[in-house]
Amino acid sequence: MSINNYLQVGDKAPTFSAISVYQQEFKEVNLSDYLGKYVILLFYPLDFTFVCPTELIAFSDSYNQFQDLNTEILGISVDSEYCHLAWMQLDRDSGGVGDLSYPLVSDLNKQISLSYSILNHEGKALRGLFIIDQKGLIQHCTVNNLDVGRNVHETLRLLKAIQYVQNNPDEVCPANWQPGDPTIKSDLNTSKEYFKSI
């Protein structure tokens, strides 16, 4: 962890073991089991709220796109596993989330949220989104306030950009980069080729 004791991009992601709900069953989740894959940690405030189901459903509906990028998703809130189960058993038309394509992790003791520095003064997790790479390093983090949901498409774009530069260490991705767009060679002379083209 960085010297100010707050997580930063490039830090090792804090590991954890916790109970989750997946496919209507309780299952222990260990972050270390995901080494070799990318992981999206999707913190959210509470079950049975308003913005949260829209986010969780949107990420679930796009789950195959994350799978194609060797990426798993873990939803995390300070609710119990029993609360998660009840919410998943409630259909979407009634404010539930139904069967999600990824586990919902119980952080009832709030230790995971604390370790990722996203627990607010009310004891809820803010909308923290962390992209962790195959080596367990944090490559991206954003934190939204409670009232504003996140964008699945932007998360996918960021994930693709992170994977691209990790596979092409002599290149960097400029603003608004999409797969197939030109990149910048991270060299003082050759980078000019990109700037001349814009």
Q: Is residue 52 annotated as part of the catalytic site, yes or no?
A: yes
Strand 17-22's sheet: what is its strand order?
25-30, 17-22, 104-106, 71-77, 38-43, 127-132, 138-144
Q: Read off φ and ψ for residue 166, nearest 5 degrees.
A: -70, -30
Q: Read off φ and ψ for residue 158, nearest 5 degrees.
A: -65, -45
**Helical segments of the chain, H only:** 51-61, 63-67, 81-88, 111-115, 152-167, 191-197
Contacts of residue 197, Cβ cutoff 8 Å, sequence gap at least 6: 182
Nearest to 106 by CA among 35, 179, 37, 19: 19
**Residue 193 has which token pair?**
């080729």
Q: Specify the 3-state DSSP secondary structure of 93.
A: helix
**Residue 114 has which token pair?**
């604390």
Are 76 and 41 spatial neighbours (Cβ–Cβ below 8 Å)? yes
State the catalytic residue, choosing from 52, 83, 141, 173: 52
Question: Which residues form the catalytic set?
Answer: 52
